[in-house]
Structures are given as structure tokens and as C-alpha cells.
Structure 1
Amino acid sequence: MTPALRVLIVDDDPHARALHARFVAELDGFTVAANVGTGIAAIAVGSREDIDLILLDLRLPDVSGIEVLHRIRTQSTSPPDVIVISSSRDQITVRQALAGRVAGYLIKPFSQEVFAHRLAVYRDERIAPDPSERDEQLAQSEVDRLLATGRVRVSPQAAYPSPPKGISAVTLERVRASLDPVVAASASDIAERCDMSRASARRYLDHLVGEGTVARSHRYGKRGRPEVLYRFAPGS
């Protein structure tokens, strides 16, 4: 018999935590391991090896859910899966979450039936994953569908190619996640956000430009060389 998946529930609202815990308890194949109301607690508990899945709210009182997601991704050798549960539906927040390779994004409010369906799909795909759907990103049309329905399946053509030698997949995801889909950023901006050197940030950004997911532009000042800026390419 397959062991029950251990779930961490993260939400600043105690009533929401209790509700989601009840939903999880009524599902086959899941058990509530813990529930917390702050981002710092979520990072501490979510980094444990006994957590399989985090149900993550993005609006937390100390650090954002996006920050929680990326800290766990970078600090854990085998990070748990994450399903975002949030009322946030703006494009910037959704893209940041998707860049963190979340397993799903449920928009509040939702019914118990929608919740149960999404976790059942996740459970079944975890038990028998489809190789064509592993570690893939969402295309814009799928983001739009997610925003409309709260759930989405990934099409195989939406995947990013594997990074070449010398490019860390984990670091590449951090750089992707640090990019704003609306406001362009310089290599220095990205270096500061990702706590890396400007040269390294430039190397990863140039890789993303070559990949076609990031566009490069220039900002001209009154004097000196133009500043190179980066943002997500249209349709990426």
C-alpha cells in the first residue's frame, strides 16, 4: 500500500487552515503533517524531508509565499511539491509562482469538489507520472486558462529545454523567477535579487535570450553607454 502523502498547509488565516485541513483529511492518500500561519514557519517545516506537498498561500504576514517557495527550492536537496492556494490572480504573481515550478495554482474561493479534484489529479500523476509532462512550464494560453478555472494541464510543447553544461537548472529558475513580466530589469537588478554576481546574472540572462523566453532591449541615458534591460519575451 502506498504511504499517504504528508501535507503542510500554509495560510495566515486560521479558519482557512482548518478548512483546508478538513478537506485534506477527507481525501484518500493524503494526511495533514502540519499547518502554519507564517512564511518563516513554512520555510522551516517545508524544508523537512518528511513533507511531500505544501498547500501554499501567497499572502503571508512576514515573507511572501513566492519567497517561501524559492527559499525551499534552493535550501532543500529534495524539495516538496507545492500547490499554490491564493486569491492573487495578477499576471506578475502567477508568472512568479509558475517559474517556481508549482504543481498547481488554485484561486480562492473554490469549492471542496474543485479542491478534491485537483489533489486527486496531483496524487494520480505523482504515482504514475507522465514523462512528457514532468518539469514543464505553462504557455500564456494555459496561464489564461488557469486564471479562469483554477486548474490546468500542461501541454508538452510548453517545456523549457534542458540547460547546457555550466548553467545550473536551479539558478536558472531563480533568475526566471526574478524577472518581472511587465517591468524590464538590468543585469545588476537581477544579480541583486538573486544574490549573485552581475557577470553570472548576465550569463544566465543571455542564455534565456538565446532560449527565446527573454527579450533584450536598451535604455539610453543622457551620457554613456546604453543600459541593457531584460524582460519576458511576448508570448513566453
Structure 2
Amino acid sequence: MADLRVLIVDDDFHVARLHATWVDAVPGFAALAPVGTAALALQAAHSLRPDLVLLDTYLPDTTGLELLRTIDTDAIMLTAASDPESVRTALRRGALGYLIKPFSADDLAAALRGYARYRRVLAGTGSLDQAGLDRARRALLGGADAPSSGGPSRSRSATETAVLEALAQGPGSARALLSAAEVAAVVGVSRATAQRYLAALAEDGAVEIQLRYGSTGRPEHRYGLSA
């Protein structure tokens, strides 16, 4: 599975670029070039087909709440609008989440991980039962679903165990840092599958993530066993 592509809509260029950096730091997500108006957001939504839009309320040509009426894309509000009416309107018009500015990189990362879990729950082709629907809704609010459910003491699935063993057997020591591609090669799964399990294990504290910066391009995520 390719990274989920995220379009950031915010009229403050510096804030938008900061949020793009935060998005790129979350495994499984990639930020598209931010836009600063509703008109550009509509154009980008139609041409680029992002998986998720992070949407500010205050835009120069219309409000983000009005834009919610016209974009057929999953959206999370990132806004300073904290009045109950704005929140109710956003949720009524389909926003999957609502973060009130100022918020931290961790707050945004938690919302994105919840969205990724929500997508995984709804990724199947069969019909959902009520338990599955409830699990998807909980994911958006910070609840968990397999493979990211439970705490450190829960039973591990076979794939999770294989991922942890791959990290423990990494070159150098049990604290070796491996990329998702390296873990995937050891375990025998796709890179996207390895990345999902690594992200899930990081959420419950079994795995830590570090960024390795090269001379150019996006930083590479490296994974290791937590201390």
C-alpha cells in the first residue's frame, strides 16, 4: 500500500509548511504541496485525488466549512475556530476529526494514526457488522484495532512477533535500527505491511522510530526495539 497522500489547506504558508513537515514525519503518510485558498483546494482535490484533506476554517475566498460541502474527500479540520457551532457544522458536513489550534506534532500524528486505523478497518470488500463499524469509529477517536490494539501485555500476532524478531536480529545488536523495507525482506511481507505493523508496535511502545536525514529528500524512518 502506498503512503496516504495528504492535502493541507491553510492560508498561512508557514503554518501549512510546518504541518506538512509533521505529516511527512508520520509513517505511512506523505504531504502534498499545501494550498492557501478554497479555489486551489478544489482544483488540487480534483486533480491530485488526495486521500485526506487537512482543512482550515478561515480561508480568503470562503470558509473551510463551506468547502466541506463540495469536496468528496475525507477531511480533518485544523482550525482556531473553537465555537460549538463550528464544530457541529464541521461534523455534520462530514469532517472525520477536529483539531483546535494551537496543537502539537504529537496531536496531529495521533489523528493521522487514528485515520490510518480507520482506513484499515474499512479496507475489506465484505459487509461490516456493528462491531466492525464501532471499531472504525473508535479508531478515529484514538481507539485501536488490530494490529495496533491492546497494550504491551497483550498477545502478539504471528506477524508482529516476526517483526520484533527481525529487529532483535538486526545487524550490530538488539538496538539496531532497520528500515521498513529491511524488515519486510526479513519477515517476507510487503514494505507497506511491514510499515503498518511497525507503526502499530510503535504505538503500544514496543518499537521506537528515529529519523535518519540524508543530504537531500525526505528523512528515512528507522525502527528499533524500545529500551
TM-score, with length taken from structure 1: 0.52
- Asked whether the 8 Å contact 2:121–2:135 carries over to 1, the reply is no
- 1:115, CA displacement in angstroms? 1.1
CA distance in 2, matches of 1:132, 1:48: 33
- 1:46-70 per-residue CA deviation (whole Å, 9 max, x = no partner) reads 2346310000001001111011111
1:99 aligned residue:
92
Q: How does 1:134-173 map to 2 (within 5 A)?
A: 152=141
Matched, 1:18 2:43: no
State the AA in 1 paired with 2:50: I
- 1:17-67 per-residue CA deviation (whole Å, 9 max, x = no partner) reads 110010011111111123100111111212346310000001001111011
2:77 aligned residue:
84
State the AA in 1 paired with 2:80: S
State the AA in 2 paired with 1:128: V
Secondary structure in 1 matching 2:102? coil
Matched, 1:127 2:142: no
2:102 aligned residue:
109
- 1:128, CA displacement in angstroms? 2.0
Runs of 4+ in 1 over 6 A off after TM superposition: none
- 1:153, CA displacement in angstroms? 6.0
2:3 aligned residue:
4
- 1:121, CA displacement in angstroms? 1.1
Q: How does 1:49-64 map to 2 (within 5 A)?
A: 50-64=49-63
Indicate the RMSD between aligned Cα atoms, in angstroms. Answer: 2.0
- 1:205-224 per-residue CA deviation (whole Å, 9 max, x = no partner) reads xxxxxxxxxxxxxxxxxxxx
- 1:9, CA displacement in angstroms? 0.4
Q: Which runs of 5+ in 1 are unaligned?
A: 73-78, 137-150, 155-236
State the AA in 1 paired with 2:76: I
CA distance in 1, matches of 2:77, 2:60: 16
1:118 aligned residue:
111
CA distance in 2, matches of 1:29, 1:95: 29
CA distance in 1, matches of 2:66, 2:3: 27
- Asked whether the 8 Å contact 2:68–2:94 carries over to 1, the reply is no
- 1:138-178 per-residue CA deviation (whole Å, 9 max, x = no partner) reads xxxxxxxxxxxxx8469xxxxxxxxxxxxxxxxxxxxxxxx
Q: How many residues align?
A: 132
Secondary structure in 1 matching 2:68? helix
User: Structure 1 residues 128, 14: CA separation in 2 closer, same or farther (over 3 Å shift)?
Assistant: same
- 1:133, CA displacement in angstroms? 5.5
- 1:91, CA displacement in angstroms? 1.3
CA distance in 2, matches of 1:87, 1:133: 29
CA distance in 2, matches of 1:86, 1:125: 22
State the AA in 2 paired with 1:118: A
State the AA in 2 paired with 1:132: D
- 1:95-149 per-residue CA deviation (whole Å, 9 max, x = no partner) reads 1100112111001001111111111111122112342366x7xxxxxxxxxxxxx
CA distance in 2, matches of 1:49, 1:15: 22
CA distance in 1, matches of 2:46, 2:21: 23
